[in-house]
């Protein structure tokens, strides 16, 4: 049997309408994940063993369990406990933000620890408070080194965003499934969805490569 995209050509615009939905989830989750990651990374490098334990425990939970399970628990499980029902979009943003925050925290932690220890010692000698040291001195230097890794996390989020289809969010994947159900024809719409994801990921990869080159030149 030959692949025939003409059978779904009238549905292609419908599938492409999932692109803005995808980026809404990815961008919001990436921004929220960055804030979470900074906070958790700060917890991991404090002098308090208990606070460090909290930071590492958070990371272990969200890195050690499947994202699709986290999404299912938030969307289907939490309403049973709290009585509050979230939409598919809300559940997706919460799950992706928490998951991304765990990975980003490790990236930031590694970046912070790569900063010369003398920077901390000089700031301590000047009596600069810990949080101000982190915000004004350490993080700006760390971000220069970790930006390529952050871009890789954004690419990973883009690929994993297909999971939001499991909670009814009308992204590219879900729309392709809808088209397949309506036409009783699944291969072409799913293949087309795969091509869209491929183009998006390759575009982000090229941007990441340019960012990395710019970082090397400025270094």
Q: What is the pLDDT of residue 184?
A: 86
Cα separation, 4 vs 146, in Å, equals 44
Block mean pLDDT (10 aa), the chain, length 219? 82 95 94 94 89 95 96 93 91 96 92 77 76 76 81 92 94 95 91 95 89 71
Structure-block tokens of residue 8: 């779904």
Take residue 35 and report the two structure tokens written for it. 């804030």
Half-sphere exposure of 207 (CA within 13 A, CB side): 13
Determine the Cα–Cα distance for residues 66 and 69; give it in Å rounded to an integer: 5
pLDDT, position 1: 60
The Cα–Cα gap between 100 and 153 comes to: 8
pLDDT at 219: 57
Cβ(120)–Cβ(131) under 8 Å?
A: no
What pLDDT, on a 0 to 100 scale, did the predictor assign at position 81?
Answer: 87
Let me know if 202 is exposed, middle or buried by CB neighbors in 10 A (0-12, 13-18, 19+): exposed
C-alpha dist (Å) from residue 196 to 11, 30, 143: 14, 20, 30
Q: According to the model, what pLDDT value does residue 140 have?
A: 76
Tokens 């930031």 -> residue: 108
Distance CA 200, CA 78 (A): 32
Decide: 57 and 49 in contact? Cβ < 8 Å: no
């Amino acid at each position: 049997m030959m692949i025939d995209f003409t059978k779904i050509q009238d549905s292609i615009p419908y599938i492409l309408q999932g692109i803005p939905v995808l980026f809404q989830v990815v961008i919001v989750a990436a921004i929220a994940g960055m804030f979470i990651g900074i906070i958790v990374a700060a917890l991991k490098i404090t002098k308090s063993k208990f606070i460090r334990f909290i930071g590492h425990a958070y990371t272990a939970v969200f890195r050690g369990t499947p994202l699709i399970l986290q999404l299912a628990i938030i969307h289907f499980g939490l309403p049973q406990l709290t009585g509050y029902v979230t939409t598919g979009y809300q559940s997706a943003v919460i799950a992706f933000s928490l998951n991304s925050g765990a990975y980003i925290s490790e990236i930031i932690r590694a970046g912070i620890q790569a900063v010369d220890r003398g920077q901390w010692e000089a700031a301590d000698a000047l009596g600069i408070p810990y949080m101000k040291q982190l915000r004004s001195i350490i993080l700006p230097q760390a971000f220069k080194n970790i930006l390529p890794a952050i871009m890789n996390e954004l690419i990973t989020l883009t690929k994993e965003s297909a999971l939001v289809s499991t909670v009814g969010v009308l992204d590219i994947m879900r729309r392709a499934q809808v088209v397949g159900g309506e036409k009783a024809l699944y291969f072409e719409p799913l293949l087309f969805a795969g091509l869209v994801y491929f183009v998006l990921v390759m575009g982000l990869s090229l941007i990441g490569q340019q960012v990395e080159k710019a970082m090397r030149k400025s270094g």
